[in-house]
Structure 1
Amino acid sequence: MSLSITYRRDAMRMREPFRISGYLLHAMPAVVVTVSDGTYFGHGEAAGVYYMNDDPPHMEREIERVRAALEDGVDRRGLQALLPPGGARNALDCALWELESFQAGRPVWQLAGVPEPTPRITTFTLPADDPAEILRRLTAFSHARAIKLKLEGDLAADTERVRAVRRARPDVWLSVDANQGFGGDDLDPLAAMLVDQAVSLLEQPVKRGAEHLLDGWDCPVPLAADESILDLTELQEQHRRFSVVNIKLDKCGGLTEALAMAAEARRLGLGVMVGNMAGSVLAAAPGFVLAQLCDVVDLDGPWFLAEPGADRGIFDAGKVMVPAAFWGVG
């Protein structure tokens, strides 16, 4: 079966600038891929992995590198051997999933072998800003039942951020994402503060490549890997240092590997989380399929886009629900 492949860029501008450790993000540009067999079409969106220099130009070069093989009929299983994990493979893999859904006349969740999707509580993310700005943005999340707060690596300032959110929302499930901002000397006082503020999850406190700082550390808060575990290989290499893995399709290269990672994480005794690199509902849809297997869901990306109506009504009462018909057969 021969295929045609086209792609375009999307600026994915955010409604407000968003600060994390080391970055101030105004947009999360994406590549949107379309594959067609002449009758049916499949679509996939990827933002890549900004801290790995996996940006739209790089993704487009990777797509062109494998265009001939794909147009000759390589399927998504063959794609795994053609491209490494990353944005290009994610966009193509997800497009091939949707194409397969239309060809088979079955929803993606059935093809993937996951339970029929139901609404899931999702985190809504606050930036690593000053407490007044954080509280201003928190007012937009009155519906939220789970909040994720970005930290910047300054323990004193981060403590004030966490305390401000906890005072304002004592009811909410709260996690923090350090985005690689801390060193070894800060880990114990950071953890003590998180316990004091009833924080339920600590994500990626140390830099990618500095995971040895976690060796022997008995963290009293569940510890999630994000940047430290990109794909299935790194899950097998690094899992002993973490209790949860945050699986993102842009990191691992698509839903195909994400499903394999979730199964392997369970085998290894880890909790499973699904995240996103911002993006539209098209990016959230395959993540939502994976979310049916996850303990923690962080799929708030479409909420942050500047275009009015960009979230297409998928958020309600602190939950996310992406109807199957938004991506593939409903």
Structure 2
Amino acid sequence: MIALDIQTVELPLARPFAISRSVRTAITVVRVTLTDGQWVAMGECTPTAHYQESAESVCQQLEQVRAQVEAGLSRQALQQALPIGSARNALDCAMWRLDAAKQGKTVWQLLEMPAPERVVTAETLSLDSLENMVKAAEVAVAGGAKLLKIKLDRLQIIEKVAAIRQAAPLATLVVDANEAWLGLDLDSLFQALSEFNIAMIEQPLPAGNDKDLVHCLHPIPICADESCHQRSDIAGLRDRYEMINIKLDKCGGLTEALAMAEAAKTLGLRLMVGCMLGSSLAMEAALPVAVQAECVDLDGPIWLAQDFQPGLRYHQGEVWL
């Protein structure tokens, strides 16, 4: 028998986190704990209102499968028992950890993958005034950041990118519009942004309303985030995106994330691995996919007032196991 415990935890942020559609000062995560009486394993998810999720709805989903989980539901069967999303992610990751513990292995060993010592991760520049974003960039690069992810809306796009590039001349820059650029002259905007050596632009148009990208000239690779949730989405994105962003909370856990990575590579799409705001418990689960990606954005814990312990170590733009 497996025992399932479900806990809702509020995590205050060390500073406000803003994107084009919201500002947050705290996040609510749901943590699950599985135990077989000998081994204990945990998983964490961050319910996302943009995807019609809340802590309450996630807990309800988990309660609906409690009896199956406690009767020994397998990780493979979980993929059909719950839909993609945060609830399945928390359980899936806990199951991976419990399966590994039972075999006296790490998840890395279960996957027959070498565990890296460290991985370069983006540091996110939250949407703010131009002056504050430049200051944040200066602080980040002074601390050793190598990759900066710039959150933008529709205002001062070129001005902000130009100022941040000047403040961080050696850093790799990626831009995240969070679906905010509908109605803008994208051809001109992408051309202007190309002057600042931008490595990638993430989700410029709303999911389901991104067909303009098919005929839009973009010298900078474009990455699908909100448009890509699971492996069945990938084939239909090849005519408008060069990359996909895999997030465990979107796709429903490590099992689907690994399958998405393989599908994307088979179809010639490049990989990014991202996250919702969350603790090291959530970020660590995504690392087996992150080591396969050319762009990694797993900086969620650096925004927290207090991380899960034992946590990952973030130092000079890298996350250390």
TM category (shorter chain) comes to over 0.9
- The alpha carbon displacement at 1:197 in A equals 1.2
Q: How many residue pairs were aligned?
A: 319
**2:160 is matched by which residue type in structure 1?**
R
1:102-151: per-residue Cα shift (whole Å, max 9, x none)?
10111101212333323111110001211111123224312100100001
Q: What is residue 179 of structure 1 aligned with on the other side? A: 178
1:173-218: per-residue Cα shift (whole Å, max 9, x none)?
0000000001254211220121011111000000011021212223
**Mapped partners of 2:49, 2:130: distance in 1:** 26
- The alpha carbon displacement at 1:48 in A equals 2.5
Q: What is residue 284 of structure 2 aligned with on the other side? A: 285
Q: What is residue 195 of structure 2 aligned with on the other side? A: 196
Residues 185-194 or 297-306, more deviating: 185-194
Structure 1 position 59 matched with structure 2 position 51: no
Residue 174 of structure 2 aligns to a residue whose secondary structure is: strand
**1:297 is matched by which residue type in structure 2?**
V
Identity across the alignment (%) = 37
List, as ranges, runs of 4+ consecutive aligned residues in structure 1 with deviation greater than 4 Å.
308-311
- The alpha carbon displacement at 1:97 in A equals 0.7
Residue 292 of structure 2 aligns to a residue whose secondary structure is: coil
Q: What is residue 145 of structure 2 aligned with on the other side? A: 144
Q: What is residue 133 of structure 1 aligned with on the other side? A: 132
- The alpha carbon displacement at 1:313 in A equals 5.4
- The alpha carbon displacement at 1:67 in A equals 0.9
**Mapped partners of 2:310, 2:153: distance in 1:** 27
**2:154 is matched by which residue type in structure 1?**
G
Residues 79-88 or 287-296, more deviating: 287-296
- 5+ long unaligned stretches in structure 1: 323-330
**Mapped partners of 2:247, 2:17: distance in 1:** 19
Q: What is residue 117 of structure 2 aligned with on the other side? A: 118
- The root-mean-square deviation of aligned C-alpha atoms, in Å, is 1.6
**1:276 is matched by which residue type in structure 2?**
C
Residue 84 of structure 1 aligns to a residue whose secondary structure is: coil
Relative to the length of structure 1, the TM-score reads 0.93
1:229–1:307 Cα change, 3 Å = same
Q: What is residue 228 of structure 1 aligned with on the other side? A: 227
1:233-262: per-residue Cα shift (whole Å, max 9, x none)?
112332332111100000000000000000
**Mapped partners of 1:136, 1:232: distance in 2:** 38
**1:145 is matched by which residue type in structure 2?**
K
- The alpha carbon displacement at 1:25 in A equals 1.4
Q: What is residue 254 of structure 1 aligned with on the other side? A: 253
1:60-105: per-residue Cα shift (whole Å, max 9, x none)?
0100111111111111111001001000000000000110111011
1:308–1:64 Cα change, 3 Å = closer
1:249–1:5 Cα change, 3 Å = same
1:313–1:74 Cα change, 3 Å = closer
Q: What is residue 47 of structure 1 aligned with on the other side? A: 46
**1:231 is matched by which residue type in structure 2?**
Q
**Mapped partners of 2:310, 2:69: distance in 1:** 31
**Mapped partners of 1:160, 1:151: distance in 2:** 11
**Mapped partners of 1:48, 1:73: distance in 2:** 25
Contact 1:274 1:291 in 2 (8 A): yes
**Mapped partners of 1:3, 1:248: distance in 2:** 27
Contact 2:222 2:241 in 1 (8 A): yes
1:250-308: per-residue Cα shift (whole Å, max 9, x none)?
00000000000000000000111110101000000011121111111111100110127
Structure 1 position 22 matched with structure 2 position 21: yes
Contact 1:40 1:102 in 2 (8 A): yes
Residue 195 of structure 1 aligns to a residue whose secondary structure is: helix
Q: What is residue 301 of structure 1 aligned with on the other side? A: 300
**Mapped partners of 1:295, 1:50: distance in 2:** 28
Q: What is residue 267 of structure 2 aligned with on the other side? A: 268
**2:150 is matched by which residue type in structure 1?**
L
**Mapped partners of 1:194, 1:28: distance in 2:** 32
Contact 2:281 2:311 in 1 (8 A): no
Q: What is residue 325 of structure 1 aligned with on the other side? A: none
Residue 29 of structure 1 aligns to a residue whose secondary structure is: strand
Q: What is residue 105 of structure 1 aligned with on the other side? A: 104
Residues 111-120 or 87-96, more deviating: 111-120
